[in-house]
A and B are shown apart, each in its own frame.
Chain A
Amino acid sequence: MGVLENKSRARLFYKYLSKVYDQINPYIWNEEMRDEVLELLGVEPDDRVLDVGCGTGFATEGLLRYSDDVHGLDQSIHQLQKAFAKFGKTDEVRFYRGDAERLPFADDSFDVVWSSGSIEYWPNPVDALEEFRRVVKPGHRVLVVGPDYPQSGLFQRVADAIMLFYDENEAQRMFEEAGFVDIEHHIQQAYPGSPKAITTIARAPESDETRDAEADERSTTDAASESASSADVGVETEA
């Protein structure tokens, strides 16, 4: 694979790909999949929700069906402008430009932190996840959707070149390192053969729980598979 062996060229390739992201995105992550994981998350009407990397507002739209207090943050003004067109600049959603790895919010500001289709752009995902844990209230949950590590073929070589796909083990490692507990993963696929999406839901420990975090993580695997199988939403769960 001569074309993609150089990583900076690969990133350039992906940057170009991101220009048509809205067109190809439904192939990987569609409305139905979004709504399934929204149901898993169970956002309450009074929840203050942060959508990190809200982009054009695809997930924001779903989150608004659950809560009136949705905040969207994105690095790119070009992406945000598409979201402004849908929701207005200062009407339904509070918008900010900002960096996922250096969030401009005080500790314990949000009831829910959501991020879909953004983690693949973060240079240091664990730094961003640590920020999520900091700004979400203790005991509350975060949800991150990213591209699952492909099983074979061209997509795998692209993934290796660009270093932005991850599998369930890698997701588990990143969330544990960022200090989360009750970590569960859900794998979804829009069509047979299309790249899979991996959704991770995790909880920030209560302040008195932090010391026991390691013990918690050991029992998380059981809790995660139990809660995943009891969630009747047709999400394929990989043990």
Chain B
Amino acid sequence: MKESLMDILCDPLDKSDLELEVTDRDGDEIITGRLVGTVTGEEYPIEDGIPNLLPPDMRDDE
């Protein structure tokens, strides 16, 4: 995901801000990392460039 998307992304649970933690990037493209809810503390993984912003109760639904 593009780093600029942080402007519109928020925690799906309470709409509070997210903090970006980057593990691997390619320019402004975040390949691996995570988004952490600044209020909820919930962690949303970024894998292979795709942020998984499913609320935790829906993540097992593979």
Looking at the assembled complex, report how far the CB atom of A64 sits from the nearest CB atom of chain B, in whole angstroms: 17
Contact between B10 and A105, CB atoms less than 8 A apart: yes
- Complex Cα–Cα for A99 and B15 (A): 13
Nearest residue, chain B, Cβ from A80: B50
- Complex Cα–Cα for A192 and B29 (A): 47
Q: Which residues of A contact B54 (CB under 8 A)?
A: 75, 97-99
- Complex Cα–Cα for A77 and B54 (A): 11
Contact between B10 and A95, CB atoms less than 8 A apart: no
> Given A75-B58, A90-B29, A94-B5, do A106 and B15 touch, yes or no (CB 8 Å)?
yes
Q: How large is the interface on B (under 10, 10 to 19, 20 to 34, 35 or more residues)?
A: 20 to 34
Q: Which residues of A contact B44 (CB under 8 A)?
A: 104
Q: Which residues of A contact B7 (CB under 8 A)?
A: 106
- Asked whether A102 is an interface residue with its Cβ less than 8 Å from the other chain, the reply is yes
- Complex Cα–Cα for A17 and B44 (A): 30
Give me the 6 closest cross-chain CB pairs, A-B, nearest first.
Answer: A104-B53, A109-B8, A104-B12, A102-B12, A98-B53, A90-B49
> Given A89-B50, A94-B2, do A105 and B61 touch, yes or no (CB 8 Å)?
no
- Asked whether A103 is an interface residue with its Cβ less than 8 Å from the other chain, the reply is yes
Q: Which residues of A contact B9 (CB under 8 A)?
A: 104-106
Cross-chain pairs A/B with CB under 8 angstroms, 8 sampled: A90-B1, A95-B50, A96-B53, A97-B51, A97-B53, A104-B11, A106-B8, A110-B8
- Complex Cα–Cα for A104 and B58 (A): 14
- Complex Cα–Cα for A102 and B23 (A): 26
Nearest residue, chain A, Cβ from B31: A90
Tell me the residues in window 1-52 of chain B with beta carbons closer than 8 Å to chain A beta carbons: 1-2, 5, 7-13, 15, 29, 44, 48-52
